A = this chain, B = another copy of it.
Amino acid sequence: MLAPEDDARLAELLASIERQSESFLGYPCTRDFDYSPLFPFLYYPLNNVGDPYVETTFRLNTHEIEREVLSYFQRFTHAPVADTWGYMTNGGTEGNMYGIYLARELLPEGVVYYSEDTHYSVAKILRVLHARNIMIKSLDNGEIDYLDLKETMRVHRDVPPIIFANIGTTMKGAVDDVQRIRNIIKELAIPSCYIHADAALSGMILPFVDDPQPFDFASGIDSISISGHKMIGSPVPCGVVIARKANVERIARSIEYVGTLDTTLSGSRNAITPLFMWYALHAQGEQGFRAIIKRCLEVADYAIEAFAQDGIKAWRNKNSITVVFPRPHAEILKRWQLAVHQDVAHLIAMPHVEQRHIQALLTDIRKFSGGHAAI
């Protein structure tokens, strides 16, 4: 089919990706997955178009599988099954856009509050959605500054707050305390609010630890977005969004006059990532993920100790596998694909990260700072 030079080029690209995947510490995506038993599905033009709970004449879909994946996440987030609805998204951004879109429709006068540690894509979403918004300061550990939030909401008590809560910030893995935020809103006697949880990574961590911060439907959130390609792993980015059904139904009514009950943002949606997620969730089970998360946290602690032995202060937030340390040499950033923000870098102890990677990273850091690693 392809010309020999095209074949060669693909082989080269694959080899380069294989190589790069060996030094892959800075992004919250595991490389521990193998979905080859599902490859036979890739010969068909599958499409999970529309609402996964609504039948369609287009039958090359995996809606049933998708609904089962959603029911896993409903369990993980203590979502009342009968009162929540969801779908699989193309990733975190779509899930966050969906949550804020819902909030804006329910509270058109609302103001979105989000911390300065929030991922840049959220500012983009707010602009796309024409949603009024105010950025709140962050604490040093990356959590939203509750005092600043309280004072700002106090000034704007006449409009309902829409809280964009980071359940694990991108850089520091900090978890905004949803319960505390709810208490502040109550103290201010603000009658209505909406809380969306961006739980891209930690949405697959907190359900599997012994003492999770309050983050889920049991703690009063209204919607949550969790990535699938991060902790579970996938060659195709994906995620789930779950929201309170009553809210989604109000949106559904408002778009029904255009002749559709499709309340998803995407329309055509891939049917493959539901299969990937279903496969991983079935293969690992809840106990499997509990063990994976435990190991990740151990590797994170190992990294902190190893850095300390080299005189580098590294740290992590509670229940976070994101290890924060001072920004190293540019060559290190490139070699280990590390994300940075100002003077801070991080590595993320995803399931594929082992002690040997940490040691190799430290060896490189030492090399680039003249014999010892302290920066």
Residues of A within 8 A of B (CB): 1-3, 6-7, 10, 13-14, 17-18, 20-21, 24, 26-27, 29-31, 33-47, 57-60, 62, 65, 90-94, 101, 120-121, 123-124, 127-130, 227, 229, 233-237, 254-255, 258-260, 262, 265-270, 272, 275, 279, 282-283, 333-334, 337-339
Contact = CB atoms under 8 A, between A and B. Distances in A.
A14 B41 CA distance: 7
A258 B120 contact: yes
B20 A60 contact: yes
A44 B56 CA distance: 32
29 contacts: A2-B37, A13-B62, A14-B41, A29-B45, A29-B47, A36-B43, A39-B39, A39-B42, A45-B229, A45-B233, A57-B337, A57-B338, A59-B337, A90-B90, A90-B269, A91-B266, A91-B269, A92-B267, A93-B268, A120-B258, A120-B259, A120-B260, A121-B260, A121-B262, A124-B255, A124-B258, A124-B265, A236-B236, A237-B269
A36 to B, nearest CB: 8
Query: Which among A3, A47, A235 has the greatest number of chain B C-beta atoms within 10 A?
Result: A235
Contact of A46 (B17, B41, B130, B260): B17
Given A254-B127, A282-B3, A45 B235 contact: yes
Contacts of A129: 128-130
A47 B30 CA distance: 12
A339 B127 CA distance: 35
B57 A255 contact: no
Contacts of A26: 57-58
**Closest CB pairs A-B (n = 4):** A123-B258, A93-B267, A29-B45, A237-B268
